[in-house]
Amino acid sequence: MKPVMLLTRILAPAIALALASAGLHADDPFAPLRDAMVREIANLSSVTRDETGRVEFAAPVMAAMAKVPRHRFVPPDEVPYAYENRPLPIGYGQTISQPYIVALMTDLTQVGPGDVVLEIGTGSGYQAAILAELAQAVYTMEIIEPLAVQAGERLGRLGYAKVQARLGDGYHGWPEHGPYDAILVTAAASHVPPPLIAQLKVGGRMVIPVGAPFMIQYLLLIEKAGDGSVSTRQVLPVRFVPLVGGG
**33-81 tens-digit pLDDT:** 999 999 999 999 999 998 998 889 999 999 999 999 999 999 999 999 9
Instruction: Compare 23 and 157 and report the one with higher pLDDT.
Output: 157
Q: Which domains does the chain have, with CATH numbers?
A: 15-238 (3.40.50.150)
Sign of torsion over alpha carbons 35, 41, 46, 47: positive
Smallest Cα–Cα separation from 203: which of 135, 129, 111? 111
Active site residue 231: no
Band (pLDDT 50/70/90 cuts) for residue 247 is: low
Cβ within 8 Å of residue 97, ≥6 positions away: 2, 3, 87, 105, 123, 126, 127, 186
Mean pLDDT of 101-123: 98
pLDDT score of 202: 97
Q: Considering the chain, what percentage of its residues have pLDDT values greater than 90?
A: 79
Mean pLDDT in residue range 87-106: 96
pTM to 2 decimals? 0.88
pLDDT confidence of residue 4: 37
The active-site residue, picked from 45, 97, 124, 229, is: 97
Which carries the bigger pLDDT value, residue 5 or residue 222? 222
Provide the pLDDT for residue 26.
54
Q: Is the pLDDT of residue 9 over 70?
A: no
- Residue 59: predicted pLDDT: 97
pLDDT number for residue 132: 98
How far apart are the C-alpha atoms of 93 and 206, rounded to whole Å? 25
pLDDT of residue 2: 44
